[in-house]
Structure 1
Amino acid sequence: MGRAPSIDDDALLRRLSEVFRQSGYEGASLSALSSATGLQRASLYHRFPDGKPGMAAAVLQSVEREFATILDPLTAEADPAAAVAEMARRVGVFYADGRLACVLDTMTLRGAPDGIRAHATRMATAWLAAMADVARRAGAPRAEAARRARAALVTIEGALVLARVLDDPAEFRSALAGLPRTLTSSPPAD
């Protein structure tokens, strides 16, 4: 019988994710990944036979599962504004109030394999679609709903960068608080 893993899968993925968030795909060296997890390279290769691409794919799959939970209120909550507010709250928790980099962004920096980039693109597209759907439920026409979803994602990502650069979560919190208005408000009358 084999030895039990020295680190459980959830903790392993969290630690790998931290390295990819901080360093991007190309900058996440095997030494850094090994150091962050406390596992020797051989143990990492045992858990991820495809090496760094396998680790990155596992991190994105983990983030995708978390995003399913983050986006769930957009379909589960009847009131669109309340749905967006709850999604925004969960986004705030996921990004530690704006202190963490977006893994979809850092994983697609220079050097990322096409499969990793494609996975991140699918996740961003799903996020946009979920936000556009809730905007349509709030009464926006299809094209306007898509525009609002893109504006919301740009707002989130921009505020995330600003919060980290300034080391001040206020802009991120403000951006999240404005998401219900961005996605569900009635268009101004002509």
Structure 2
Amino acid sequence: MTRIIHEKTDVVPMIAEVFRELGYEGATMSKITGRTGLSKGSLYHFFPGGKEEMASEIMAHVDAWFIAHVFEPLEQEDPQTAIPRMWREVNAYFRSGQRICLVGAFALDETRDRFALMIGRYFQRWIDALAAALVRTGATKEAALLLSEEAVGGIQGGLILARALNDPSVFERTIAGLAERVAVFIGEPS
């Protein structure tokens, strides 16, 4: 039975899960309708630009979540609060490694060319926000940037390994190890 959805904001998270599961190329309109219970008419009502518009909206939705829960706290809050918060929020968002990073997945295939600017901005802002927080703890800009790249790269790698091995604990251990490394680096207990 077709679902009745009244708001576009209700539709975006549903479609995002289809893209997470099947990737951009695998998320055909028929698979999106089948997995969400939405009619093609409803989808085109909300997304007249089709699948590319859906993906763009989903990426904007993901970006907005990360801005509110990760990037802005790292940029604006006390680093001793914001950095541990980042680990908690990231672990919750990715469901302890059971949910892939859609932006990361898009970066790995030919979808990257369609959304290169959005993908690049997302990862660069995360690296820059974490680096800025680390600098506020006394780290040099160079060291903070290197550690931030390692942390964001480690999160992405942990997600891939957890998915590949079908073992979410890989992600949890990765997050714990990265958090410990950052905490040691800034001289705080983890």
Indicate the residue corresponding to 1:74 in structure 2: 74
Q: Secondary structure at the residue paired with 1:35?
A: helix
Secondary structure of 2:107's counterpart equals: coil
Q: Which amino acid aligns with 2:4?
A: S
What secondary structure does 1:108 align onto? helix
Structure 2 unmatched runs, 5+: none
Give the helix-richer structure, 1 or 2.
2
Offset, 1:178: 3.3
- Stretches of 4+ moved more than 6 A in 1? none
Aligned mates of 1:83, 1:176 — CA distance in 2: 15
For residue 6 of structure 1, the aligned residue among 4, 12, 25 is 4
- What is the distance in 1 between the residues matched to 2:92 and 2:186? 30
Following superposition, the deviation at residue 45 of structure 1 comes to 1.3
**TM-score between both structures, scaled by the size of structure 1:** 0.86
5 Å matches for 1:133-152?
133-152=132-151
Other-structure match for 2:93:
94
Structure 1 portions without partners, runs of 5+: none
Residue matched to 2:172: 173
Cα contact 2:162–2:168 (8 A) shared by 1 = yes
Q: Which moved more, 1:103-112 or 1:55-64?
A: 103-112
Shift of 1:127: 0.7
Greater relative contact order, per chain length (Cα 8 Å cut-off, separation 6+)? 1
In structure 2, relative to structure 1, the CA distance for the partners of 1:187 and 1:126 (3 Å cut) is closer
Distance 1:36 1:10 in 2: 17
List aligned pairs for 1:145-160, cutoff 5 A: 145-160=144-159
Conservation of the 8 A alpha-carbon contact between 2:112 and 2:119: no
Aligned residues: 183
The one-letter amino acid of 1:135's match is L
Percent of aligned positions that are identical: 33
- Distance in structure 2 (CA, Å) of the matches to 1:186 and 1:122: 26
Aligned AA for 1:97? S
Tell me which moved more, 43-52 or 64-73.
Answer: 64-73
Match of 1:117 in 2: 116
RMSD of aligned C-alpha atoms? 2.2
Q: Return the offset for 1:37.
A: 2.4
